[in-house]
Structure 1
Amino acid sequence: MNAKYISIYHKLVEQIEKGVFTVGSKIPSEKSLMEKFDVSRDTIRKSLQMLEQNGYINKVKGKGSFILDTAKLNFPVTGLISFKELSNQIGREAETIVEILEKKKPSKFLREQLEIDDQTAIWKVVRARKIDGKKIILDKEYYNCEYVEKLSKSICEGSIFDYIENTLHLNIGFAKKEIVVQACTEDDQKYLDLDGYDMVVVVNTFVYLDDGSLLQYGQSRHRPDKFKFVDFARRIQQINE
């Protein structure tokens, strides 16, 4: 027989998935749930902990527990897709907000990432991505000016990849990606609607042209409750000599 807290967890999940508790609303207090299910505070806390661990609620200190949107967006790991292409695929209301666009000299860190010298200028592009009215992605990208001489706000509000491929006639070939989880930075707090989250999922990307030239280094910083990163993996058959 399941423990009481597990049974209560499943009942609350059912109510959340049926829309009894709407996204963004506050879940009933511990006291209310104790009275409803006739159990101890410890039992309710275990149930709420399971809800939090499985992404159904977010606990905000001093405010309570809020229902999360469990309909996450699929974000391909192996593919190389622009935000414009992604937003067209998901059919959701999407907007790009250009926060920073500037040509500058690279720092030592960026010189190392882009494999350039201190005489090569770069473009710094910072864009907040809004989906369904919430800013949930912060893209920080750095382009080698040897390949991208000009950029404008209108280009950045659309698709930089589209501009590179169809206006500059450069062929984007492949990318290397690294996915990590980091504590939120001041920029994350400034540009994103974090809704109480203090961590973000960060995708570090190195984008190359088809001839192997390094075009761009970027960070895509995601609110963790809104995305799941998906991949298709095939088992590699070992060749017996």
Structure 2
Amino acid sequence: MHENKYLAIYHDLASRIRDGEWKAYDKLPSENELAVRYKTSRETIRKALNLLSEHGYIQKMKGKGSIVLDVGRYAFPVSGLVSFKELAQTMKQPVRTIVHELELIKPDAELKQQLRATSKDDVWKVVRVREIDGERIILDKDFFLKKNVPLLTKEICEDSIYEYLETKLHLPISFAKKEMSVDEATEEDRRYLDLNGDDRVVVVRNYVYLNDATLFQYTESRHRLDKFRFVDFARRK
């Protein structure tokens, strides 16, 4: 198995919840029952359930077990640090990633500020369009410092950059700061997206950090206005 056991169990349970095997307010099987089902320890099951709780799939209630939450409204958590490939696995529509640009560049003044880069740094620029159900609705512009990401290929960018960074380069991606705004559509937006006459797009700007607080990625994710829906799950600590 290419991922930790508890992560595999988490993904399987999350998929079953999304597919409706357990409805909102149903109770999941007990830790003992799940341990038998997945042939593992209760501790591993507990870690998977904790992850389900953190991502808004269940509410753990003392003495009552794990209650399934209404996950339909949490299908697209903008505030999460989730790759498009991971998101696509939760969707029923056909999806495709189209790589339009992949090159090493020298950062201009704006990019230096966004990435805390210097004139000596090389930066990977990746421009990708996300097509969902035959419509081009998201334009992702990613910038990675080469000193953290020595190599990128078109094949990696078409599949999942994050999967490559974490499984091949073992980069400890930790957290992101995000800004959202509604901006005027650019010529680039009109060229790459099916805007259907809209002259504005939703822009989500991401600043992504490693676990030592090193900023290594800046992203602009530009969404067609009528297809964008902000949904979040919040849990009071």
TM-score band w.r.t. shorter chain: 0.5 to 0.7
- The answer to whether the 8 A contact 1:72-1:228 is kept is no
TM-score, length of structure 2 as denominator length? 0.67
Distance apart, 1:234 and its partner CA: 4.3
Q: Which amino acid aligns with 1:180?
A: S
Distance apart, 1:190 and its partner CA: 0.3
Distance apart, 1:162 and its partner CA: 0.4
Residue 77 of structure 1 aligns with which residue?
A: 78
Q: Which amino acid aligns with 2:200?
A: M
Q: Which amino acid aligns with 1:172?
A: I
- The answer to whether the 8 A contact 2:99-2:128 is kept is yes
- The answer to whether the 8 A contact 1:201-1:224 is kept is yes
CA distance in 2, matches of 1:115, 1:138: 23
The structure-2 alpha-carbon separation of the partners of 1:210 and 1:85, relative to structure 1 and needing over 3 Å to count, comes to same
Q: Which amino acid aligns with 2:194?
A: D
1:129 is paired with a residue of what secondary structure? strand
CA distance in 2, matches of 1:187, 1:72: 31
Residue 187 of structure 1 aligns with which residue?
A: 188
The structure-2 alpha-carbon separation of the partners of 1:196 and 1:74, relative to structure 1 and needing over 3 Å to count, comes to farther
1:188 is paired with a residue of what secondary structure? helix
CA distance in 1, matches of 2:126, 2:197: 26
Which structure has the bigger radius of gyration?
1
Q: Which amino acid aligns with 1:138?
A: L
Residue 207 of structure 1 aligns with which residue?
A: 208
Distance apart, 1:233 and its partner CA: 3.0
Q: Which amino acid aligns with 1:204?
A: R
Residue 123 of structure 1 aligns with which residue?
A: 124
Q: CA deviation digits over 1:32-81, x for unaligned, max 9? A: xxxxxxxxxxxxxxxxxxxxxxxxxxxxxxxxxxxxxxx99942122111
CA distance in 2, matches of 1:235, 1:147: 34
Q: Percent of pairs identical after alignment?
A: 53
1:197 is paired with a residue of what secondary structure? coil
Structure 2 gaps of 5+ residues are 1-71
TM-score, length of structure 1 as denominator length? 0.66
- The answer to whether the 8 A contact 2:74-2:233 is kept is no
- The answer to whether the 8 A contact 1:72-1:225 is kept is no
Residue 169 of structure 2 aligns with which residue?
A: 168
- The answer to whether the 8 A contact 2:202-2:228 is kept is no
Listed as ranges, the matches of 1:5-24 within 5 Å are: none
Distance apart, 1:91 and its partner CA: 2.5
Listed as ranges, the matches of 1:1-241 within 5 Å are: 74-234=75-235
- The answer to whether the 8 A contact 2:74-2:231 is kept is no
Q: Which amino acid aligns with 1:193?
A: D
2:88 is paired with a residue of what secondary structure? helix
Q: Which amino acid aligns with 1:227?
A: F
Distance apart, 1:226 and its partner CA: 1.2
The structure-2 alpha-carbon separation of the partners of 1:233 and 1:190, relative to structure 1 and needing over 3 Å to count, comes to same
Q: Which amino acid aligns with 1:131?
A: I
- The answer to whether the 8 A contact 1:72-1:226 is kept is no
CA distance in 1, matches of 2:74, 2:89: 12
- The answer to whether the 8 A contact 1:72-1:227 is kept is no
CA distance in 2, matches of 1:119, 1:170: 22
The structure-2 alpha-carbon separation of the partners of 1:195 and 1:74, relative to structure 1 and needing over 3 Å to count, comes to farther
CA distance in 2, matches of 1:96, 1:106: 25
Distance apart, 1:227 and its partner CA: 2.4
